[in-house]
Chains A and B, each alone.
Chain A
Amino acid sequence: MAKKVNKETLDNVTIRFAGDSGDGMQLSGGRFTQTAAIVGNDLSTLPDFPAEIRAPAGSLAGVSSFQIHFSSQEIHTPGEKPDVLVAMNPAALKVHLKELKAGGTLIINKNAFNPKNLKLAGYETDPTEDGTLDDYYQAHFIEMSKLVTLACEGIELSPKLVERTKNLCALGVLFWIYDRPLEPTIDWLKNKFKNKPEIIEANTNALNAGYNYGETAELFTTRYVVEKAKLPAGRYRNMNGTLATCLGLLAAVEKSKMSLTFAGYPITPASNILHTLSNWKKFGIKTFQAEDEIAGIGAALGASFGGSLGVTASSGPGIALKGEFLGLTLITELPVVIINVQRGGPSTGLPTKTEQSDLFQAVYGRNGDAPTPVVAATTPGDCFVTTYEACRIAVKYMTPIIVLTDGYLANGSEPWMIPDSKDLNDFDVSFEKGSETDEKHQPYKRNKDTLARNWAIPGTKGLEHRIGGIEKEDGSGNVSYDSDNHEHMTYTRAQKVANIANEIPPTQVYGKEKGDLLILSWGSTHGSCKVATEKLLTEDYKVGHVSLKWINPFPSDLGKILLNYKKVIIPEINRGQLRYLIRAEYLIDAIGLNEIKGKPIGASTIVNKCKEILDG
């Protein structure tokens, strides 16, 4: 007799896949994401890895997770407390259970709850046996290891490899619950394991086994439907911040017709930029794995001196090492793009967790009076245009520029409306032309509008000149120890950066243009602040939201906008670095909301704090 299944429609759902590092949770999450994208949901994801590559199996330190928030409406964050927690072993349950919503769904791999794993996770009694879970959650204990073993009978594969397919089994269960197609995942498997038919078969069987379990097991009585989201019309793809950053660089190459030289040193979470670009040589992108962080920016600067756009990427500790070269790039007025994928600091800090604490480092982290443009991406997809614009402005203004992203943006993803390359700002490059005359070349002759100096590259006849880190005489570029010239150059370099404000489009205010409270965010806190603003607006609070991308220089209209509100709150994942800058620049007593827990600040935290301010 067929069992009776209800169908219920939901607006949005947050699922967290959690398991041991070796359990393939990133893969399950990634496949669920791709399917949600194909189904047409809006979505946002947040992977979370342990810092250790191979922490002991079953240990708390080895738990890896992937959260996806998907919806039939527009969403901006990966969600806070999950509705569903998939726990592949006791350690995963231990680490993540406290965040599962009360009454939420638990999907547990029962076979992993053996005495050894329970002990590793610090459980004295088995929570799947002692009844503690059933009181609070809809708990489903599924013998996934056993299911996949049965499903893969007859396939010539070691038991160990069969066991590994249990992440697909868990995925199958979720696909059944949320009524999702299996084909995209099966196609993906076929493509990924082209020459390994037994792996394709085993994984497909495991996926089906999970799906069929949902279909037949009496436990599940409800399926949920999350409809297509009504996103703005266009063609979409799922986009993460790393790929978006790399595409931004590629766009710079294609639009400017320049070559690009990327030099970097391996560091979490920035290395994937190096990996991706290394595959794009056919576009004229050269990549160089340098011997250290210093060499990374040094080679990028050397390339820029030679007329190729130099780019380097790192994370806080690596950026610290690049500091001296940032100063040299600045004084020699050559374009270099420095991408900082921020992570928890100081020092090694929390390498795999996100944070926004390198803002001071970006704005101030150099010796001398060394103004450097700083721009931050706000969402994973936004890394594309942010990086593109950074390249364009670096070249137009002949300056180093720092692009701030972070671990969450780099690894997180969202549906991204694919732009048309024609809609990007034009990217002109003009190297100075050779001369046969005896007139002396003036390497520091400036464009009157931007104050950018000329770019004369080696190989050009008649323009031979020397540059370096010693102060330059404006115009001639000769070494100069003259005090008046030094002061003039100090102000000129600052004015050049200030002039970039002319490139910044008018600031968009979301919500009330004037009101009681402005929520001012920068970088990746954009999403939570937007959601918080939406919520406060529906409750008739007079709030607005400004999402800041440019931090040096600030947009020229920002000062005015700040005055349109009685109060300003700045949520950031640090102790208040933007707040400090805003206070210093605009003498506004901005209020901080600072949560530094290695993950995005939840929208509800922001809503609560705003209410406290507005109701108080």
Chain B
Amino acid sequence: MRTQTEIGSLLDWVEEMRVRVREIVREWDDQEGNLIMMLHAVQNEFGYISRGVAGVLAKETGINMARIYEVITFYHYFRLTPPGSHSVQVCMGTACYLKGAQKLYDELAQQLQLMEAAGGRQGDVQLETVRCIGCCGMAPAVVVDSETHGRLCPGDILQFLKRKQEARHGS
């Protein structure tokens, strides 16, 4: 059972979220064709676009939910689920593909699965692909928690993640 304080803080969060969405809407209100910019702002704020947040956005803008969802699902950039606590994005642009990005991705996926099987928590590391992040000179490029690295092998990335996790749990 949830305690009163937990429920209280949840309600507070919802209220704060409403205020924040309202601010975003106000900022863009007078601009034509503002939906995508508002969705960007919402995702920046909350990490992803949850149903609840989308609902508030619909109410505040008067745009119906179906249309908002039509847009969110069309564009790859928008997330409907919360991101993991660490993210690893392997670039699958042409230059990186040619320099072995697919192999890097496959090996990494396998290693992460092993880690999870060995007791790592699910959803801890989110592995994704991106299309050219503009560092083709360093192919294959990988973005680990929004830091870009070049010419890495799977071992380097796992080490890097391990260090970060240790640093986090240690503090």
- The answer to whether A and B belong to the same complex is no
